[in-house]
Amino acid sequence: MNWSRKSLIKLIVTSATYRQSSRHRDELFDVDPQNTLLARQNRLRVEAELVRDLSLEVAGVLSKKIGGPSVFPALPAGITDLSYAGNFKWTNSTGEDFNRRGMYTFFKRTAPHPNLITFDCPDANLTCIERRASNTPLQALVTLNNETFLEASQVFAKRLLSQSATDDAVRLTQAFRLCIARVPSSREVQQLSDLLAANREFYRAHQDDAKKLVGNSAISGATPDESAAWIATARILLNLDEFITRE
């Protein structure tokens, strides 16, 4: 490997040991209960900076640009006044910079981006030797209701409906593979199909709610209720635990 760090990382992540499933197996409880011998993979939620990146990548809008100044993604309403008390003006980035990777997000030590804090971003005032990962209801509320993740689900739905395939099962399978990086089981496809059908029924009966969910992200060739049904389904996929967790 000629002392190449990149080569070492590639060797590790492509090894049979690293690529194992994290599923607990009965025969390992007595032999290696703490997984010291790496008989299986460890479950790991992605770092705070990557949670948003994953949604943008699946939606097809994540900027892969490298380098440059910090960027300012959207903040939840009211956060600027609460966190910066008028001493600092947070102006959302525009164009490509709006969808830059999380590692380029402007970081103010006294008031970090709230989404980063929610997903255990380290305190920049202290040395961090190891990141901790928590699992809280607030995290699910962020990925379900935050404006950034809602917009990602809108664009993701548009991406799915723009495909040449018109069969729901084909689109749902593709959506699942994009989000989870594996082929869904027949049971999972059926569950998604049932969910999509339920969403269609709801938004046909609630056109105002459909238009509100679609917002300014109207999908060409699709009615508001059909667009809303796919957006709602996409939101569920982007909120699966497996979406942000290495299994």
In terms of pLDDT, which residue wins out, 88 or 14? 14
For the chain, what are the domain ranges?
Answer: 1-40, 47-134, 138-246
Res 85: pLDDT: 59
Res 44: pLDDT: 87
CA 152 – CA 170 distance, rounded (Å): 21
For 143, counting Cβ atoms within 10 Å of its Cβ (0-12 exposed, 13-18 middle, 19+ buried), the class is buried
pLDDT tens-place string over residues 33-81: 888 888 888 888 999 999 999 999 999 999 999 999 999 998 877 776 6
Residue type, 115: N
Which string of b and e fits 87-108 if b means at least 16 CB within 10 Å? eeebeebeeebbbbbbebbeee
pLDDT tens-place string over residues 131-185: 888 889 999 999 998 889 999 999 999 999 988 678 899 999 999 999 999 999 9
Res 81: pLDDT: 66
Res 217: pLDDT: 84
> Across the strands, what pairs with 71?
105
CA-based angle 198:203:205, to the nearest 5?
100
Entry pTM: 0.86
Res 4: pLDDT: 92
Res 27: pLDDT: 83
Res 236: pLDDT: 96
3-state secondary structure of 137: helix
C-alpha distance across the termini of the chain, in Å: 28
Which DSSP state fits 242? G
Res 174: pLDDT: 95
Res 125: pLDDT: 82
Encoding tokens for residue 86? Answer: 């008028």
pLDDT tens-place string over residues 6-36: 999 999 999 999 998 888 888 888 888 888 8
In terms of pLDDT, which residue wins out, 30 or 197? 197
Res 29: pLDDT: 81
Res 80: pLDDT: 66
3-state secondary structure of 45: strand
Res 100: pLDDT: 95
Q: Assess contact for 65 and 96: CB atoms under 8 A.
A: yes
> pLDDT-based confidence at 82, cuts 50/70/90?
low
CA 84 – CA 195 distance, rounded (Å): 42
Res 124: pLDDT: 81
